[in-house]
């Protein structure tokens, strides 16, 4: 098997250590830059939210840099700014992510921010109410955004009855219902070292980085930490389902049209990814962009996307159109999808996209940030430490028949979800 140059992360230069409390630490040394990137994730994502307090996980994560038992809000940011560093938290569906960057000599400060934020946030009333106000403004803006609302309706259709159908940032009434006690209880019950992953990449010896992480977080325990909720599988829709969300006064409509897709670890993921690129990502947004935007002039933009993660993914088309052209655009997109599952892709299309995938990998791994993200992907999806060195062969192994088979497996025009938002 052909492998990339050892400049790319692999088993011989990735240090992986599991601490006694369950935290996995991944490190890779790079002395070509004086900086270091600290990133990772832990349990506490929005899957833990209840419908009545939807947005609680995101709200909790947003509070972690607003003050802790050692530093108040202003002191936190003064400490970071004084050394040109940055750090923050954000909630996702499955986890709470964190990340920051500094000079290598200031890694202890980033780790202190991580530890203090995770272990002793204060949830001061003043900052909770400021955040609540920001959330409510953001949700008011979301309600007037045709793209955001089309995406919400699409998720409601495709993932009906599943946690993925609910927005991570909640609704105005659920944000209003969240109290300081809710935030404190969520943090106490959901945050802990089990399943936590920390990645350190940059100008520091890997063993030294592991030692610093262990010194700061190795004694963290939470016997009451909740177990991640089980995630149910999904079945495709029984029939074509279309829904419109009206927003008065808009001159543009947005649409999302699609199907359930593969999970990240499904064997057909790479074929689906290359097929999606040909369909609506490559060049001027692939076949969809060429047909709907360039030739027919029915859309301001049109693309396809494949969202594949731990749970059931989605393979969908997005477009922004003149409301008068909405049904025409939908019909043309469905026609392109029918052509795609009937005839597949050409050898030239496949080769162009394989070359693009392999060629852009070095660019994605040029920075410490890119490598840190790669290490987290390896751990999150159990890809194997040599995944990125084997990546070109995985891409080249995909055939036209593979793409045709995966397209026919997931793309079913008679069972499509269609969401639109606009006037």
Average pLDDT over residues 212-241: 94
Res. 221: pLDDT tops 60: yes
Average pLDDT over residues 79-98: 96
Q: At what angle do helices 146-158 and 125-143 cross, to 10 degrees?
A: 90
* DSSP code, position 105: G
Q: Say which residues have a Cβ less than 8 Å from residue 331's Cβ, sequence separation at least 6.
A: none
β-bridge partners, 36: 102, 202
3-state secondary structure 319-384: EEECHHHHHHHHHHHHHHHHHHHHHCCCHHHHHHHHHHHHHHHHHHCCCHHHHHHHHHHHHHCCCC
pLDDT band at residue 7 under the 50/70/90 scheme: confident
Average pLDDT over residues 295-311: 93
Which pLDDT score, from 0 to 100, does residue 5 have?
42
pLDDT band at residue 4 under the 50/70/90 scheme: very low
Matching residue, tokens 């979800």: 417
Strands 35-42, 197-202: pairing is: antiparallel
* DSSP code, position 160: T
pLDDT band at residue 60 under the 50/70/90 scheme: very high
pLDDT band at residue 233 under the 50/70/90 scheme: confident
* DSSP code, position 44: -
* DSSP code, position 323: G
CATH architecture type of domain 15-217: 2-Layer Sandwich (3.30)
- For 159-192, give one letter per residue: b (16+ CB within 10 A) or e: beeebbebbbbbbeebbebbeeebbeebbeebbb
How does pLDDT run across 406-423, given as a tens digit for each residue? Answer: 999 999 999 999 999 999
**Helix (H), strand (E) at residue 408:** helix 400-410
Query: Can you tell me the distance from the alpha carbon of 4 to that of 10, in angstroms, rounded to the nearest whole number?
Result: 10
Which pLDDT score, from 0 to 100, does residue 180 have?
97
How does pLDDT run across 249-261, given as a tens digit for each residue? Answer: 999 999 999 999 9
How does pLDDT run across 310-325, given as a tens digit for each residue? Answer: 998 999 999 999 999 9
Query: Can you tell me the distance from the alpha carbon of 184 to that of 186, in angstroms, rounded to the nearest whole number?
Result: 6
Per DSSP, the residues of 173-191 read HHHHH--HHHHHHHHHHH-
> What are the domain boundaries of the chain?
15-217, 241-422
How does pLDDT run across 16-29, given as a tens digit for each residue? Answer: 999 999 999 999 99
- What is the chain's alpha carbon radius of gyration, rounded to the nearest angstrom? 23
Average pLDDT over residues 138-164: 97
How does pLDDT run across 180-198, given as a tens digit for each residue? Answer: 999 999 999 999 999 999 9
Determine the 3-state secondary structure of 24 from DSSP: strand
Which pLDDT score, from 0 to 100, does residue 87 have?
98
pLDDT band at residue 6 under the 50/70/90 scheme: low
Average pLDDT over residues 120-146: 97
Tokens of 21: 């409390």
Strands 197-202, 24-29: pairing is: parallel
Query: Can you tell me the distance from the alpha carbon of 141 to that of 159, in angstroms, rounded to the nearest whole number?
Result: 24
The superfamily CATH assigns to domain 241-422 is Metalloenzyme, LuxS/M16 peptidase-like (3.30.830.10)
pLDDT band at residue 1 under the 50/70/90 scheme: very low
Cβ-contact 150, 258 below 8 angstroms: no
Tokens of 23: 């935290």
Res. 100: pLDDT tops 50: yes
Average pLDDT of the chain to the nearest whole number: 95
Query: Can you tell me the distance from the alpha carbon of 198 to that of 210, in angstroms, rounded to the nearest whole number?
Result: 9
Res. 353: pLDDT tops 70: yes
241-422 has the same fold as 15-217:
yes
């Amino acid at each position: 098997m052909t492998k990339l140059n050892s400049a790319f992360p692999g088993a011989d230069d990735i240090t992986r250590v599991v601490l006694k409390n369950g935290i996995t630490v991944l490190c890779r040394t790079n002395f070509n830059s004086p900086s270091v990137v600290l990133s990772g994730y832990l349990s506490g994502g929005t899957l833990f939210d209840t419908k009545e307090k939807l947005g609680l996980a995101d709200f909790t994560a947003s509070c972690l840099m607003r003050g802790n038992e050692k530093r108040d809000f202003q002191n936190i940011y003064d400490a970071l700014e004084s050394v040109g560093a940055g750090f923050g938290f954000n909630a996702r569906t499955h986890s709470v992510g964190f990340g920051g960057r500094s000079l290598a000599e200031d890694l202890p400060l980033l780790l202190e921010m991580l530890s203090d934020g995770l272990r002793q946030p204060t949830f001061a009333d003043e900052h909770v109410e400021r955040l609540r106000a920001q959330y409510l403004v953001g949700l008011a803006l979301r309600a007037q955004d045709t793209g955001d609302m089309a995406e919400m309706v699409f998720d409601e259709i495709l993932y009906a009855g599943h946690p993925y159908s609910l927005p991570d940032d909640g609704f105005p009434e659920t944000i209003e219902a969240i109290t300081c006690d809710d935030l404190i209880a969520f943090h106490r019950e959901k945050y802990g070292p089990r399943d936590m992953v920390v990645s350190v990449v940059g100008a520091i010896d890997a063993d030294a980085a592991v030692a610093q992480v262990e010194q700061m977080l190795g004694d963290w325990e939470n016997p009451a930490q909740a177990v991640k909720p089980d995630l149910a599988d999904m079945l495709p829709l029984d029939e074509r389902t279309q829904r419109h969300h009206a927003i008065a006064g808009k001159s543009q409509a947005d649409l999302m049209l699609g199907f359930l897709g593969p999970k990240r670890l499904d064997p057909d993921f790479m074929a689906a990814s290359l097929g999606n690129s040909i369909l609506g990502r490559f060049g001027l947004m692939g076949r969809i962009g060429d047909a709907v935007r360039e030739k027919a002039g029915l859309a301001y933009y049109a693309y396809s996307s494949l969202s594949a993660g731990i749970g059931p993914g989605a393979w969908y088309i997005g477009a922004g159109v003149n409301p008068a052209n909405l049904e025409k655009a939908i019909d043309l997109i469905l026609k392109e999808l029918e052509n795609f599952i009937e005839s597949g892709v050409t050898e030239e299309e496949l080769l162009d996209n394989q070359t693009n995938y392999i060629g852009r990998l070095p660019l994605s791994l040029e920075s410490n940030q890119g490598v840190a993200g790669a290490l987290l992907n390896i751990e999150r999806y159990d890809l194997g430490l040599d995944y990125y060195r084997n990546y070109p062969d995985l891409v080249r192994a995909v055939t036209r028949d593979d793409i045709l088979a995966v397209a026919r497996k997931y793309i079913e025009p008679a069972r499509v979800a269609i969401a639109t938002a606009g006037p």
